[in-house]
């Protein structure tokens, strides 16, 4: 049985295997309704909506590196950039150097120009080039699509890492197994990927990104964004379908991730969509040295909407598995 910490109300946890009844899953029954339902008129949104702008540069070290300090390599989600991790930089600047590369097609990174379909291996190869320039063991962090890339890196380059933190990695390929409940989640993801891909292919980027943003943040999220944020998302719309298919078609299976021996922190939102909740459960019962953290009331974009809780959890995990004892600031 994995060790799971729950923060927030109305979240329960029980893992009994992939074929759980929905009532026995890791999250309360009302999580799905909270994610899907639009807020009543005049009621504040459940998720504060915010999308970081694309920052310049392919590899941005944050803060000064003290002698013997840890290094954290953080990979962002789809349609974001390394700028997603500004809050984390502020939290860990006293204990670690933060490196936040832009994934292919985002921020200051070049678009995908490969001959075939983009693979997670292509993303990982770009990050390995960054990793090879870093000294010593590195703490690897990934959110969403960046989490799927981090998961692959952790399995294939585990000796380079001191710890692993995964925040709802969209390892959708793990859902393509012969289990009726998980198959429903896989069908949901395929429907979303097909819709976004079709809209981008039909030169309808706004419809594509409305579907994408509203799925992960709840109905009305796209409309709640500012003009600048929407414009930034529209610019990267062609990359989003590539991310989906890279995550869906990855050949690694759950048994391969069970080989990861790194101390691993898994973080999920208590009100996130069902597919990422299922992935959380699968990984929590497969990675031997893993522990889980469920943030009640948070959704898939928890690093932005619940940044303080996420960033402090990452900082504690890094401090607990670093090369030297690190003192963290006391919570306010």
Give the pLDDT confidence of 112-134 residue by residue, as tens digits: 998 889 999 999 999 999 999 99
CA distance 70 to 68: 7
Share of the chain above pLDDT 90, in %: 71
Sequence-ordered list of residues with C-beta below 8 angstroms from that of 191, at least 6 positions apart, any chain: none
Backbone phi, psi, residue 136, to 5°: 70, 180
CB neighbourhood size of 108 (10 A): 16
Model confidence at 50: pLDDT above 60 = no
Tell me the pLDDT of the chain averaged across its residues.
83
Domain 61-175+252-320 has CATH 3.40.50.1820: yes
Q: What is the pLDDT of residue 317?
A: 97
Q: Which two tokens stand for residue 67?
A: 């002698």
pLDDT of 24 reads 33
Q: b/e for 122-156, b at 16 or more Cβ within 10 A?
A: bbbebbeebbeeeeebbbbbbbbbbbbbbbbbbbe
Residue 23 CA to residue 203 CA, distance in Å, equals 41
Residue 174 has pLDDT above 60, yes or no: yes
pLDDT the model gives residue 105: 97
pLDDT single digits (tens) 292-305: 999 999 999 999 99
256-289: per-residue pLDDT in tens?
A: 999 999 999 999 999 999 999 999 999 999 999 9
Per residue in 178-189, is it b (16+ CB within 10 Å) or e — as a string?
A: ebeebeebbebb
CA 222 to chain centre: 19
Domain boundaries, the chain: 61-175+252-320
Radius of gyration of the chain (CA): 18
Reduced to 3 states, what is the DSSP secondary structure of residue 212? helix
**pLDDT classification of 149: cutoffs 50, 70, 90:** very high
| pLDDT digits 0-9 by tens, 71-126 | 999 999 999 999 999 999 999 988 899 999 999 999 999 999 988 899 999 999 99
Residue 193 pLDDT exceeds 80: yes
* Contact indicator for 298, 28 with CB cutoff of 8 Å: no
Q: What is the pLDDT of residue 181?
A: 87
Is the pLDDT confidence value at 314 over 60? yes
């Amino acid at each position: 049985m994995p060790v799971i910490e729950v923060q927030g109300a109305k979240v329960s946890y029980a893992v009994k295997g992939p074929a759980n009844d929905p009532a026995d899953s890791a999250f309360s029954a009302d999580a799905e309704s909270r994610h899907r339902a639009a807020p009543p008129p005049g009621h504040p949104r459940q998720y504060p909506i915010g999308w970081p702008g694309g920052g310049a540069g392919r590899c941005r070290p944050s803060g000064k590196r003290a002698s013997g300090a840890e290094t954290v390599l953080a990979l962002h989600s789809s349609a974001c950039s390394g700028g997603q991790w500004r809050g984390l930089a502020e939290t860990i600047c006293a204990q670690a150097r933060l490196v936040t590369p832009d994934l292919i097609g985002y921020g200051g990174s070049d678009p995908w120009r490969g001959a075939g379909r983009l693979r997670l291996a292509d993303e990982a190869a770009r990050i390995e080039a960054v990793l090879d320039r870093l000294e010593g063991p590195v703490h690897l962090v990934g959110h969403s699509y960046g989490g799927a890339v981090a998961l692959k890196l952790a399995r294939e380059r585990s000796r380079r890492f001191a710890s692993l933190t995964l925040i709802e990695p969209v390892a959708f390929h793990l859902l393509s197994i012969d289990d009726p409940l998980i198959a429903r989640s896989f069908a949901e993801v395929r429907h979303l990927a097909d819709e976004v891909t079709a809209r981008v292919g039909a030169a309808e980027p706004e419809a594509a990104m409305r579907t994408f943003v509203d799925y992960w943040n709840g109905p009305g999220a796209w409309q709640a964004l500012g003009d600048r944020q929407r414009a930034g998302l529209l610019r990267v719309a062609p990359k989003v379908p590539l991310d989906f298919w890279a995550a869906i078609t990855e050949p690694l299976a759950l048994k391969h991730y069970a080989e990861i021996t790194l101390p691993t922190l898994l973080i999920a939102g208590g009100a996130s969509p069902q597919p990422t909740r299922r992935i959380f459960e699968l990984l929590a019962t497969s990675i031997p040295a893993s522990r889980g953290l469920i943030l009640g009331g948070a959704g898939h974009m928890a690093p932005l909407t619940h940044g303080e809780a996420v960033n402090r959890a990452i900082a504690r995990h890094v401090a607990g598995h670093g090369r030297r004892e690190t003192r963290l600031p006391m919570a306010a």
